[in-house]
């Protein structure tokens, strides 16, 4: 329910705080008093099109807020939560909009700054304006499908259709991915096979790069090292001359020691013994040195071309690493990766066939559900058309036609149907879109007939406040009474606001608000007054009689209001 409208500096309205009650509220007053300004301000607060022309002359900005009291199960709470807007379900939702004299606009929900787009989205869940100058509500063809589905109670079919479409979309996306790879698959296969063959022939081993680098360094210095070792061997006397000389020295010392004898000076014997041991050790170490130098020379002796072969292998490994943008030790892992990719390509045909089958199965399931939904919509459309046509004659539109047009377009989560309400206002005139064919008054009465026909189809979770403008344009008497009775009936399922010049419509309301204007300090201002039973009687009598209110008019007003 729209509980309050607060307006500041909007055209002729300087300050207005208007509280509203449930049921049907009628806004009445003379032409030009400012009824449309209140609707413009309400549209501004709920995200409708607005501009700096709404700012009252002399003011720096205009502001309007609308407070809504809604049920805990209303779907707008989910929209607020998704938009990360703080709220308390025990409190009103407050939509607010300001527009400066320069045309800058700011929007708020519960005092949190939001985009005008989000404000309009939330406003669209709470308010439905039926007037030729407001592009929301039934004037927006995108809402017609939802209206028809709610009337037909298609929730279960819609849930099934949405789930089936999601499965179909997932399968179709997977198929598209496979097909996009198909163009590359042959080229990729050739590449992977070539790379795998090249890496298999190369057969890199872990750590081989470092090992070959060390071996290459050794080979590069082998010739010089071998020459030095040979020189060292020559210096050690490979012909045995050094051994002969040491042996001769050793024999001479042995003879001296024998001549001295065991009883000689102990110091001399010890010195001779030490010298003999040293010569014997020198003889032994000379042989060990000659053997070690020979062994070392053997290590530095390589087969011819060994260096070339080592470098060729090392360079081949490094060239492959550069080619595939990895280090040498990564070539083995790369070979495994290429092998896996090739296996995946080899399984492509199988996967493609499997995915195509999944898409076909999903499409068949979706087709069945979408066809059932289309069938249900067509049945519901005929019932809605009949209900609307019953409502049109009392509204002085007995020659009009109403058709819920259903056209199959493309697969989607809500089926494949486009629903649009089309009308013809007079015999012989072409039938066409509701928003283009009907005039202002006709349009509002069409909207009323449709809403009465749809009454009860909307749950509390989707309930909106309904505003009707110009619904009584060009009608009076019994037709106006029929309009009033239908608005009253509609207000039993939702809060309804109507801007009216008709006393019959005003008399049908639960509440009446008088809009008037007055001059103050050279300025014209709009004033708003909530009427009680006595003042309502006087206002309806004025609407019946005109400028001079007679007792007969007052009696007629009481009769319309059904009060004594």
DSSP secondary structure of 81-108: HHTT----TTS-EEEEEEEETT--EEEE
Other C-beta atoms closer than 10 Å to the C-beta of 317 total 20
Instruction: Determine the pLDDT at residue 417.
Output: 95
Task: Classify each residue of 490-518 as buried b or exposed e, where b means 16 or more C-beta atoms within 10 Å of its C-beta.
Answer: bbebbbbbbbbbbbbbbbbbebbbbbebe
DSSP-derived letter for residue 91 is: S
- Secondary structure class of 534 (helix, strand, coil): helix
pLDDT at 230: 58
Which residues contact residue 155 at a Cβ distance below 8 angstroms, ignoring those fewer than 6 apart? 149
Residue 460 has pLDDT above 70, yes or no: no
Number of folded domains that form the chain: 1
pLDDT of residue 27: 92
Among candidates 42, 62, 43, which has minimal Cα distance to 52? 62
| Highest mean predicted confidence (pLDDT) among 1-5, 180-184, 195-199, 438-442 | 1-5
- Given a cut of 90, whether residue 364 has pLDDT beyond it is yes
**Is residue 498 helix, strand or coil?**
strand
What's the confidence (pLDDT) of residue 2? 94
pLDDT band at residue 195 under the 50/70/90 scheme:
confident
**Residue 303 domain-assigned?**
yes
Q: Answer whether residue 228 is part of any domain.
A: yes
pLDDT at 273: 76
Judged against a pLDDT cut of 90, whether residue 472 lies above it is answered with no
Burial of 384 (0-12, 13-18, 19+ CB in 10 A): buried
User: Angle at which helices 331-346 and 348-391 pack, to 10 degrees?
Assistant: 60
Q: Which residues contact 352 (CB under 8 A, 6 or more apart)?
A: 175, 178, 179, 182
Residue 30: per-residue pLDDT: 81
Identify the pLDDT of residue 459: 57
Residue 230 lies in a domain: yes
Q: Is the pLDDT of residue 263 over 60?
A: no
**Segment among 268-272, 308-312, 378-382 with least mean pLDDT:** 268-272
Q: Would you place residue 222 in the very low, low, confident or very high pLDDT band (cuts 50, 70, 90)?
A: low
pLDDT averaged over the chain?
A: 83
pLDDT surpasses 70 at 479: yes
Q: Is residue 338 part of a domain?
A: yes
Distances in whole angstroms, Cα of residue 236 to Cα of each of 275, 293, 297: 21, 9, 14
Answer whether residue 308 is part of any domain: yes
Please state at what angle helix 144-152 crosses helix 348-391, rounded to 10 degrees: 80
The answer on pLDDT for 234 being more than 70 is no
Compute the average pLDDT of residues 89-117.
Answer: 93
pLDDT of residue 407: 94
pLDDT at site 160:
96
List the one residue out of 514, 368, 358 whose CA is nearest residue 33. Answer: 514
* pLDDT, mean of residues 455-470: 73
Cα–Cα distance for residue pair 100/106, rounded to 1 Å: 9
Strand-pairing partners, residue 529, are: 514
> What is the span of the domain harbouring residue 272?
182-346
Q: Which pLDDT band holds residue 457 (cuts at 50, 70, 90)?
A: low
* Residue 116 pLDDT class (50, 70, 90 cuts): very high
- What are the Cα distances from residue 562, in Å, to 105, 249, 557? 46, 156, 8
pLDDT, average across residues 50-65: 91
What's residue 456's pLDDT?
65
- Does the pLDDT value for residue 93 go beyond 90? yes
Do the beta carbons of residue 466 and residue 24 sit within 8 Å?
no
Q: Give residues with Cβ within 8 angstroms of 447, minimum separation 6.
A: 130, 137, 138, 468, 471
Percent of the chain with pLDDT over 70: 85
Which of the residue ranges 288-297, 472-481, 516-525 would you say has the lowest mean pLDDT?
Answer: 288-297
3-state secondary structure of 455: coil
3-state secondary structure of 211: helix
Task: Report the pLDDT averaged over residues 241-261.
Answer: 70
Bigger pLDDT: 82 vs 458: 82
In a domain, residue 527? The reply is no
> Residue 255 pLDDT > 80, yes or no?
no
Q: For the segment 123-148, what is each residue's pLDDT rounded down to a tens digit?
A: 988 998 876 555 566 778 888 999 89
Confidence of residue 373 (pLDDT cuts 50, 70, 90): very high
The more confidently predicted of residues 232 and 449 is 449
Q: What is the dihedral of CA 403, 406, 407, 412, to 10 degrees?
A: 150
Q: Give yes or no for a contact between 373 and 415, defined as CB atoms under 8 angstroms apart.
A: yes
What does the alpha-carbon distance between residue 256 and residue 249 come to, in Å, rounded to a whole number?
A: 11
Model confidence at 358: pLDDT above 90: yes
Q: Which of 107-111, 394-398, 400-404, 439-443 has the lowest mean pLDDT?
A: 439-443
pLDDT band at 245 (very low <50, low <70, confident <90, very high): confident
pTM score of the predicted model: 0.65
Residue 85 lies in a domain: no
| CA–CA separation, 434 and 424 (whole Å) | 8
> Could you tell me which of 118, 62, 70, 114 has the C-alpha nearest to residue 92?
70
pLDDT tens per residue, range 196-208: 888 888 888 888 8
Contact status, residue 203 vs residue 331, Cβ threshold 8 Å:
no
Residue whose tokens read 């013994």? 273
d(CA 255, CA 259): 6
pLDDT of residue 293: 59
359-373, 400-414, 519-533: the lowest-pLDDT one:
519-533
Find the range with the poorest average confidence among 95-109, 274-288, 308-322, 387-401. 274-288
Backbone conformation region of residue 348, classed left if phi is above 0, alpha if psi is from -120 to 50, else beta: alpha
**Pairing, β 511-520 against β 523-530:** antiparallel
User: Percent of the chain at pLDDT above 90?
Assistant: 32
Region 101-119: what's the mean pLDDT?
Answer: 93
- Domain annotation covers residue 117: no
For the ranges 210-214, 419-423, 447-451, the maximum mean pLDDT occurs at 419-423
Label residue 288 by pLDDT band (50, 70, 90).
Answer: confident
Q: Which of 66-70, 171-175, 264-268, 365-369 has the lowest mean pLDDT?
A: 264-268
Instruction: Give CA–CA dist 195/358, Å, rounded.
Output: 34
**Under 8 Å between Cβ of 5 and 66:** yes
| pLDDT confidence of residue 220 | 64
| Nearest-angstrom CA–CA distance, 512 and 494 | 17
For residue 301, what is the DSSP state? -
Contact present, 505 and 26 (Cβ < 8 Å): yes
Lowest mean pLDDT across 40-49, 50-59, 198-207, 520-529: 520-529
> Predicted confidence band at 303 (pLDDT cuts at 50, 70, 90)?
low
């Amino acid at each position: 329910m729209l509980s309050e409208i607060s307006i500041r500096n909007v055209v002729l309205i300087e300050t207005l705080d208007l509280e509203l009650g449930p049921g049907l509220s009628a806004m009445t007053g003379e032409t030009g008093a400012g009824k449309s300004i209140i609707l413009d301000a309400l549209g501004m607060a709920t995200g409708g099109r607005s501009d700096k022309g709404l700012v009252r002359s002399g003011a720096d900005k205009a502001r309007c807020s609308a407070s809504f009291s809604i049920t805990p199960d209303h779907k707008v709470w989910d929209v607020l939560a998704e938009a990360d807007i703080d709220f308390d379900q025990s409190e009103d939702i407050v939509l607010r909009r300001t527009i400066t004299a320069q045309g800058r606009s700011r929007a708020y929900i519960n005092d949190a700054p939001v985009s005008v787009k989000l404000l309009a989205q939330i406003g669209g869940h709470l308010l439905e304006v039926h007037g030729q100058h407001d592009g929301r509500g039934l004037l927006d063809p995108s809402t017609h499908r939802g209206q028809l589905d709610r009337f037909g109670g298609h929730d279960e079919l819609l849930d099934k259709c949405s789930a089936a479409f999601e499965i179909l979309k997932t399968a179709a996306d997977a198929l598209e991915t496979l097909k996009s790879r198909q163009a590359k698959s042959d080229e990729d296969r050739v590449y992977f096979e070539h790379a795998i063959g090249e890496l298999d022939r190369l057969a890199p081993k872990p750590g081989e790069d470092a090992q070959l680098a060390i071996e290459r360094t050794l080979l590069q210095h082998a010739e010089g090292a071998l020459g030095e070792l040979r020189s060292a061997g020559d210096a050690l006397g490979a012909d045995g001359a050094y051994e002969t000389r040491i042996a001769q020295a050793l024999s001479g010392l042995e003879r001296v020691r024998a001549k001295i004898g065991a009883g000689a000076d102990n110091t001399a014997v010890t010195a001779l013994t030490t010298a003999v041991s040293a010569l014997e050790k020198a003889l032994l170490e000379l042989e060990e040195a000659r053997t070690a130098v020979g062994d070392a020379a053997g290590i530095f002796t390589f087969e011819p071309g060994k260096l070339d072969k080592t470098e060729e292998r090392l360079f081949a490994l490094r060239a492959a690493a550069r080619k595939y943008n990895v280090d040498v030790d990564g070539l083995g892992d790369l070979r495994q990766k290429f092998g896996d990719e090739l296996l995946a390509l080899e399984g492509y045909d199988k996967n493609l066939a499997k995915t195509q089958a999944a898409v076909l199965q999903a499409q068949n399931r979706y087709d069945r559900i979408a066809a059932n939904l289309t069938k249900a919509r067509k049945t519901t459309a005929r019932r809605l058309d009949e209900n609307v046509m019953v409502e049109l004659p009392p509204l002085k539109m007995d020659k009009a036609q109403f058709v819920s047009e259903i056209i199959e377009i493309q697969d989607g989560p809500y089926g494949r149907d486009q629903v649009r309400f089309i009308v013809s206002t007079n015999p012989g005139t072409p039938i066409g879109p509701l928003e283009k064919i009907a005039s202002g008054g006709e349009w509002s009465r069409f909207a009323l007939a449709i809403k009465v026909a749809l009454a009860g189809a909307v749950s509390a979770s989707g309930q909106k406040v309904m505003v009707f403008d110009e619904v009584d344009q060009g009608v009076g008497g019994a037709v106006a009474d029929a309009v009033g009775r239908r608005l009253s009936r509609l207000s039993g399922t939702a809060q309804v606001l109507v801007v009216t010049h008709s006393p019959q419509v005003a008399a049908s309301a639960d509440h009446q608000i008088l809009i008037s204007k007055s001059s103050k300090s050279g300025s014209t201002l709009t004033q708003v007054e909530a009427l009680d039973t006595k003042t309502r009687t006087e206002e309806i009598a004025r609407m019946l009689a005109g400028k001079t209110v007679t007792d007969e008019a007052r009696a007629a007003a009481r009769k319309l209001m059904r009060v004594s």
